[in-house]
């Protein structure tokens, strides 16, 4: 089947939009990259505390099925991090540790930045050895 010019331009527009969403989501994680290490789990790029086991990842961004996925494991272990989450962002939540975006606005980016900051604090606290009492 031959694609018509209109179909091709629509595909290019969707691809450009997904690339922009992916760039914005990756930028949310930029402030943490110097304190985390990059690795892959099942071929998916993630960030984790240095020395953490594979399944103790912190966050990652990847593409799939016409969306950009933003994974944030601390919200799975600490659902209280989601207290006060806006209905708009809650609608993007898929599963215990995943958001899916085909578009994103400034308010959602700002809310995700705050959620990631809280999550990073919790993740760092969880990763510290227990102090004997």
Q: What is the pLDDT of residue 54?
A: 80
Question: How far from chain centre, in Å, is Cα 63?
Answer: 11
4-45: pLDDT as tens digits: 566 888 989 999 999 999 999 999 999 999 999 999 999 999
Q: 3-class DSSP state for residue 26?
A: helix
Burial of 101 (0-12, 13-18, 19+ CB in 10 A): buried
Cβ atoms 24, 9 nearer than 8 A: no
- pTM for the full predicted model: 0.88
Least reliable range by pLDDT among 56-70, 83-97, 115-129: 115-129
- Between 120 and 11, name the one with better pLDDT: 120
How large a percentage of the chain has pLDDT more than 70? 91
């Amino acid at each position: 089947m031959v694609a018509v010019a209109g179909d091709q331009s629509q595909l290019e527009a969707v691809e450009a939009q997904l690339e922009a969403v992916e760039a914005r989501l990756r930028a949310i994680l930029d402030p943490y990259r110097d304190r985390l290490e990059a690795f892959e789990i099942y071929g998916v790029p993630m960030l984790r505390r240095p020395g953490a086991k594979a399944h103790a990842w912190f966050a990652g961004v990847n593409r799939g099925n016409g969306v950009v996925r933003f994974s944030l494991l601390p919200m799975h272990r600490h659902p209280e991090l989601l207290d006060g989450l806006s209905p708009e962002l809650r609608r993007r939540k898929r599963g215990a540790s995943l958001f899916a975006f085909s578009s994103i606005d400034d308010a959602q980016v700002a809310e995700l930045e705050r959620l990631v900051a809280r999550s990073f604090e919790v993740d760092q606290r969880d990763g510290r050895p227990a102090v004997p009492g």
